[in-house]
């Protein structure tokens, strides 16, 4: 996931400046609790442009890894490289249209940062309140119509199946 886009989506409660090391650490702590709660392994990528670092750096946190791009590349470039050899079930979280447009050709579903940050905020809020996380799935029958004409496309059904894990 693109860390900068995720923080700027506006849903995530951040106390520190998102561009600062403290803000990135705060985001990683929030993602760590989410990853442990959902049983996921997350990778968040931050822009390292202007940092003076000639190569990519990696920092582990519980439930995931934070990657920092080198000074000559963007976080989107790093995400493209990671997804070249990505395993089945990999989901990319970004709001960058150019990056999102190239990934479906590799059969990698893309989730907008706003949608993921809403899920992350709901998870955080449930932890603060001490209640269960509401997935928004109705307990009764399906309100949507059934049948061939109302069935989502196969690619959409596959994407939805992967996103239910989040």
pLDDT for residue 60 = 92
pLDDT for residue 87 = 84
pLDDT for residue 139 = 41
Question: pLDDT tens digits for the chain (166 residues)?
Answer: 988 888 887 777 777 777 788 888 888 999 999 999 989 999 999 987 666 678 888 999 999 999 999 888 888 999 999 998 888 888 899 988 888 888 877 888 888 888 898 888 888 888 877 765 555 444 444 566 666 677 778 878 877 777 777 7
pLDDT for residue 52 = 67
pLDDT for residue 10 = 73
In the chain, domain spans: 3-135+145-163
Task: Annotate 21-75 with three-state secondary structure.
Answer: HHHHHHHHHHHHHHHHHHCCCEEEEECCCCCCCCCCEEEEECCEEEEECCCCCCH
pLDDT for residue 131 = 61
pLDDT for residue 137 = 43
Cβ pair 63, 40 in contact under 8 A: yes
pLDDT for residue 141 = 46
Residue 55, CA distances (Å) to 40, 73, 78, 85, 87 in order: 27, 9, 11, 20, 24
Cβ pair 82, 88 in contact under 8 A: no
pTM of the predicted model over 0.85: no
């Amino acid at each position: 996931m693109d860390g900068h886009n995720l923080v700027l989506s506006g849903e995530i409660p951040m106390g520190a400046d998102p561009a600062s090391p403290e803000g990135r650490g705060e985001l990683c702590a929030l993602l760590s609790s989410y990853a442990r709660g959902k049983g996921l392994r997350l990778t968040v990528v931050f822009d390292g442009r202007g940092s003076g670092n000639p190569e990519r750096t990696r920092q582990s946190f519980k439930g995931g890894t934070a990657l920092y791009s080198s000074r000559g590349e963007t976080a989107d470039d790093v995400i493209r490289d990671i997804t070249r050899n990505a395993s089945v079930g990999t989901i990319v979280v970004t709001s960058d249209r150019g990056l999102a447009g190239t990934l479906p050709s590799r059969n990698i579903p893309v989730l907008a940062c706003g949608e993921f940050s809403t899920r992350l905020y709901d998870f955080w809020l449930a932890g603060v309140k001490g209640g269960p996380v509401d997935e928004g799935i109705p307990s009764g029958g399906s309100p949507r119509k059934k049948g061939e004409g109302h069935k989502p496309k196969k690619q959409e059904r596959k994407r939805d199946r992967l996103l239910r894990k989040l």
